[in-house]
Structure 1
Amino acid sequence: MSIQNFLSNLDPRLQRMVLKNEQLEEEGLHTEAQKENLIPVIAKVTNIGKFQKITGVQKVTEITTAPDRSGQIVTAHIAANALPTVNKSPVVIQLQGAQPVKPLLKDTAREINLPSPQESSGNGGEGVIVGIVDHGCDFTYSSFRNTDGSTRLLALGIQEMMNDRTTSFQVYNSQQINKALGKPDPYKELQYPVDKYTHGTHVTDIAAGNGRNNKASGVATKADIIFVEPAYWDIPRGNLGNFGDSINFIEAVKFIFDQAGNRPCVVNISLGTNGGPHDGTTLVEQAFDGFVTDKPGRAIVIAASNSYADNIHTSGVVAQNGHIDLHWSIPTNDFTLNEVEIWYEGSDTFQIEVIDPQETTVCRVGLGELYHDGQIFASQEKSALNGDNVAMILCDVDREDMSTGKWTIRIHGSNVNNGKFHAWIERDNHTIGIQSIFAASRDNNYTIGSVSCGHKSIVVGSYDAKNLNTPISYFSSAGPTRDGRHKPEISAPGHGVLAAASLTGNGVTGMSGTSMAAPTVAGVVALILSEAKALGVNLDIDQIRTILERTARHNPPSQQGWDSRYGHGRVDAHAAVAAVRAMAEGRQPLPSAVTQEEKEALVRR
């Protein structure tokens, strides 16, 4: 197939959806449910009313105002054949396809230096809502219940996928949950089945479990809980790919903040993905920044990702008229969609050549061009997100002899002013963990998740609290962001963490990942917000982030300042709560760098 230009300036994921839709139409493979061909998108628009009236735009949901006040962020569903026209509308600032997102205590409580009830006014997160967006909440578990057996959950929200690929919320309030707890089969009563050892149950216990399992308590033991299960594993996939996930994701976060209203609230996100610009400009990250800047007393805590050792990132500098080869290895028997994204400066122009394992050139695409033959999709566009250029190569592996093996992506420097590029391989959906990798010239920096690069989120790395030296976890992803900002902000125990095991009543299981570190910090943020509420202090997101960063412990990391994996250091709950008291009492704010002696003196005051 020759290179096509008619879809230029459209997000590459949406380009592919238009082409896949046309291919299915031509081949007569659409099911009845697919004939509407509604594609879920995230958009930034100047006028929601005018956007809703554009032909082909349906099911618009207002999310938040962009943090720079440049427009409103919304989700919507757009007919595939209308996407190019909608993208060119003067009311559309940015139109972005969704990305897939997937899941990423005794030692924890000791290691993070939890304050005792006598050392704080906030009483274990009382008055604060801890929101969890994850998969599988065992609402019957002992540590999510009060001493009288009633639930600590204010709401359990379950996104349900409809036939047209839109979602609806099934919401159970505390009264409905309590009624179900009185039935012989509570799960059947709510029509909410739960698997054993679910990720979400474990994460919730770390953040807010109250210790009624007689094993160990989480961090914010008195906080209220809102749990939302997004429909990220219920997207109709088939031939149309993994769309809709991150749209459901931001709607889930919006649900929690809407439920919280003016109450202090921290949302934990232990989910992520690899692809994207890694500079905080995705509409998901802009939505997150908008949520937490909209009102004081709000925070979003995100796992840094577990990709440090996965060989999914590389970078380099292309010379004028030179080229660099990326060697992309797709394992045998990996018959999933594999994806590489390459991001580089908008002042440069590259040619991207795709060479198959038989060393035959499949295509060569320039800026504003795309190629699609049913198996390989390749395109280059100037991104509306940030003005940089992005090349995307997707391989639908369906023929073992043709598709698996070592592919070469040759980057040619056509017009080079800067030459720097970064490339990421998207996380694989394969159930047994087969992952394509860069076979050479790997760079394990810049591996934090693509939704973990926002300007206002709090991103958390993982270390091993069971080791006296508290070494960083081998899997814990590294910063900085592509635009050079310091992410992650902080680190917490995430290695072999014992917490709630669903369907056991009060049993525990061990899990490792930045998924376990993030809820520890979310729990500490709940303690900070609870202390502030009790002392009459309103904290904005910048103050919350500053408190965490300036009270972090630095041994390890040994240096003051920021480390690409530990962040500003290991979280210190005791010192963080003490810092809130210092603010409330009008004492001097913490300096930019604090010695261990100064922190100990602060805690003693």
Structure 2
Amino acid sequence: MRSQNSQGLLITSAPSGGLLKILLFLLLFVSISFSQKLKVLYEDGRVGVVDATKTSLNALQRVVYTEKPIRVKYLDQLVYSSSVAIRGSGPFNFSINTSPGQNLSVLSAGASVSFSGACSGGLDNLFCSGGPLNFNVSSSSDWRLIVQSVGKNIFLSDVSTTAYYLGTGAVNTGRTGRNVLVGVVDSGIDLCHPAFKKPDGSSKVLFLYDLATNREYNRQQIQSLIASGNCNFDSLGHGTSVAGVISYIARDADLVVVKLPDQMTDADVMQAFDYLRNKKDQLGRPMVVNVSLGYNVGPHDGTSLIERKIAQLSGPGFVVVVANGNDGGRRVYGRIGALSGSASVDIYSQGEGVIDLWYSGGTLRGEFCVGSSCLSASPGESKTASFGGCSVDMKNVYPSPLNGDGNLRIETNCTGDLTVRLYSIGGTPRVDVYIFSLFDAMELKNHFLDDGFGGYLGTVLVPATSPKVISVGAISSSFCSQRSYQNLGFIAPFSSRGPTRDGRIKPEVVAAGHCVRTPMAGFQSYRDSAGTSFSTPVVAGLVALLLESNPNLDVDAVRNILTSNALRDSAVGNVPNNLYGWGKAFLPPEAVPGGGSPGGSGGSSGGGGGGCNSASPDLYTALLALVLTAVLRKRIRRVL
């Protein structure tokens, strides 16, 4: 029998030791003060979430592995736009070849723009009769233009100068997500916001389930809440913004919202998946699930319990779309290959967090040091220590029941320069290092992988690492900040990069995410939002359009459609790659059977159209701080 570790408990008792198994299970359960839940792995390979006080002894005997919940965080906001971006410096002339009935709009920054030729109206609403539309740009410095199109998709061959794709083409597919369910696993929703109001006055939200209170509201109850004005179920505002982006893309889809607890964990997310899958089956309708959250703890290879849960529930008409993460500009992943002697992992820390090392191809002993104070653990050992004013909880598990690899996990609130020394004690193990910390308080000083474009490889978060999800990165897509302006059309600096630990390309696709117009919870207005949290619902909306046409598509079929139709330009480069995946998410009408006519909304001034002219850095900073209050707060045990 193995000892308890920070990941969980492996139970290897003989059949006659069933009582011991239950006692060990209960010991782990009562040691977890922040949660009433445990994630479990059963003998038959299923995973689940249980409350030991409500689970039968017979059911507990079938558990072979338990794991305490891991805190997860909502991903920061980014931006969304459409069509193409054109960048330049100084006076410039170019043209776009237009078609009869095409409707264009132009957003400009840093330049005055005039036009002539095949279109009439104003720059914000051009109606074209077909033929060249000529633009004259007057500027003495750098400038940016975003050209949006309804009625016909713009391709690079239509533009006489270098352009970069931004948009998805959703408005031109002729689909609106009718009869499709969209599951939103997030912080809740403001039911009263006009973004969720159908033309007939009814709500787009079909069900709202509050996981913390175990209360479900149906559409009739939701309408009553709206009528009474008691309708803001989103104190963070994140879920309202996410759901709003989906509604831009798939305006006729019905929303099924799961409100997570404020101090959410991955166990909560797993329970949300169960609820949504049951709802999809009860209603007999296809569902796409949007997950704009994640964490950087676990094997990152598809074998974590939350990834197993997704694979367990995935199937025809049930597709999960996940944000790749916003750690692309941070040194939170490192790799050491073929360790034959010893190596040091250096970390700078400003607060509490988790250092999670996974190793294969051999075994190792780990040593955690703060100055001259050190704590070591060999495979199978669990240690705790107090170094002056900080604490350390260190576990070295080999083999992990999740994947057979080794896992050295260190939970600490020590600050300053930290060192993890690794010693090979068998074979030549390869080591993958992941950092997850409160308020981005930790970062690697060595062994990180520079991607050559200002970011870092291997930074994709769990559960975007699952092979059974569509993972989404973000591109800079508007003018909400100086950084997005300079980076327009390219990968957003914060967008997490692949690969997964087992070498798979992530993300599958990228979409506009720097900046998107999103609804504000508690207000009847919108704001500019940035993050893979908001490029992800763009793609979830596209999946809803696909499911409208074919309700039986599974994640593999959806992946094939998205990757085969993704747009490539000079920013994307050769595909697939670990920044852009297979390219920029796009749906031509032929990819959505029955499509081909304009969707009737979302034109040049429609929701999600771009704008971002009123972006406020102060608002972004305040929102970021608010969202990060939901980040991991690990319980650090101190030695008495």
Q: TM-score category by the smaller chain? A: 0.7 to 0.9
1:359 maps onto 2:372 in alignment: yes
Go from structure 1 to structure 2 and tell me whether the alpha carbon gap of 1:38 and 1:186 turns closer, same or farther (over 3 Å shift). Answer: closer
Q: Is the 8 A contact 1:11 1:383 kept in 2?
A: no
Are residues 1:424 and 2:434 paired? Answer: yes
Q: Give the structure 1 partner of residue 240 of structure 2.
A: 201
**1:509-565 alpha-carbon deviations (Å, 9 max, x no partner):** 1111110110000000001111225xxxx3222111110111101114544431101
Q: 1:465 to 1:324 in 2, by over 3 A?
A: same
Counterpart in the other structure of 1:413: 424
Give the residue type in structure 1 aligned to 2:383: Y
Q: SS in structure 2 opposite 1:482?
A: coil
Distance 1:385 1:34, change over 3 A: closer
Match of residue 182 from structure 2:
130
Partner of 2:353: 338
How many angstroms does 1:366 deviate by? 0.7
Provide closer, same or farther for how the CA distance between residues 153 and 372 of structure 1 changes in structure 2, counting only shifts above 3 A.
Answer: same
C-alpha deviation, 1:15, in angstroms:
6.4
Structure showing the higher helix proportion among its residues: 1
Give the whole-Å Cα distance in 2 for the aligned partners of 1:472 and 1:521: 16
CA distance in structure 1 between the partners assigned to 2:33 and 2:571 by the alignment: 54
Instruction: Give distance in 2, aligned partners of 1:558 and 1:463.
Output: 10
More strand by share: 2
> What are the residue-to-residue correspondences of 1:286-297 with 2, within 5 Å?
286-293=308-315, 296-297=316-317
2:72 is matched with 101
Aligned in 2, Cα 1:456/1:557: closer, same or farther, shift over 3 Å? Answer: farther
Structure 1 residues 125, 422: closer, same or farther in 2, change over 3 A?
Answer: same
RMSD: 2.9
Residues 328 and 406 in structure 1, CA contact (< 8 A), matched pair in contact too? yes
On the 8 A contact 1:133/1:268 being kept in 2, the answer is yes
Which deviations, in whole Å up to 9, do the C-alpha atoms of 1:339-384 show, x marking residues without a partner?
A: 1010010x4111101111x2232x2111111111362111111210
Contact 1:318–1:413 (Cα < 8 Å) also in 2 = no
Q: Which moved more, 1:455-464 or 1:309-318?
A: 309-318
| Aligned equivalents of 2:32, 2:462: Cα separation in 1 | 32
The whole-number CA distance in structure 2 between the counterparts of 1:582 and 1:391 is: 53
Deviation of the 1:394 alpha carbon = 1.0
Q: Counterpart in 2 of 1:517? A: 535
Unaligned runs of 5+ in 2: 11-29, 84-147, 149-165, 450-455, 479-484, 596-640
Residue 635 (structure 2) aligns with: none
For residue 416 of structure 1, report the CA deviation from its aligned partner.
2.1
Q: Which residue of 1 aligns with 2:448?
A: 442
Aligned length: 472
The SS at the match of 1:416 is strand
Q: Distance in 1 between matches of 2:33 and 2:499?
A: 42
User: What per-residue deviation string (whole Å, max 9, x for no partner) do you get for residues 243-267 of structure 1?
Assistant: xx11111111221221222201000
Contact 1:42–1:98 (CA under 8 A) maintained in structure 2: yes
Contact 1:556 1:569 (C-alpha < 8 Å) held by counterparts: no
What is the match of residue 164 of structure 1?
Answer: none
Partner SS state of residue 348, structure 1: strand
CA contact (8 A) 1:352 1:411 kept: yes
Q: Is the 8 A contact 1:349 1:367 kept in 2?
A: yes
Equivalent of 2:230 in 183, 186, 189: 186
Secondary structure of 1:519's partner? helix
Map 1:24-423; keep pairs closer than 5 Å. 40-46=37-43, 70-78=44-52, 91-104=62-75, 107-108=81-82, 110=148, 111-116=166-171, 119-120=173-174, 123-160=175-212, 168-183=213-228, 185-187=229-231, 193-195=233-235, 198-208=237-247, 218-231=248-261, 233-234=262-263, 245-261=265-281, 262-293=284-315, 296-320=316-340, 322-331=341-350, 334=351, 337-345=352-360, 347-356=361-370, 358-361=371-374, 363-373=375-385, 375-381=391-397, 382-395=399-412, 397=413, 403-417=414-428, 419-423=429-433
| 1:485-496 map, 5 Å | 485-496=504-515
Q: Return the letter of the residue paired with 1:389.
A: G
**Structure 2: which amino acid aligns with 1:512?**
A
Question: What corresponds to 2:141 in structure 1?
Answer: none
Judge conservation of contact 2:358–2:432 (CA < 8 Å) in 1: yes
**How far is 1:37 from its partner?**
9.5
Q: Distance in 2 between matches of 1:220 and 1:260?
A: 17
1:449-464 equivalent positions in 2, closer than 5 A: 449-464=461-476
Residues 38 and 560 from structure 1, CA distance in 2 versus in 1: closer, same or farther, beyond 3 angstroms?
A: closer
Matched AA of 2:431: F
Quote the offset at 1:114 in angstroms.
2.6
Structure 1: gaps spanning 5 or more residues:
1-5, 17-32, 47-69, 161-167, 209-217, 236-244, 398-402, 584-605
Report the residue type matching 2:444 in the other structure: F
Contact 1:273/1:427 (<8 A) preserved: no
Distance 1:299 1:470 in 2: 28
1: distance between equivalents of 2:548 and 2:193? 24
Aligned twin of 2:163? none
Asked whether the equivalents of residues 207 and 219 of structure 2 are also in contact (C-alpha less than 8 Å), the reply is yes
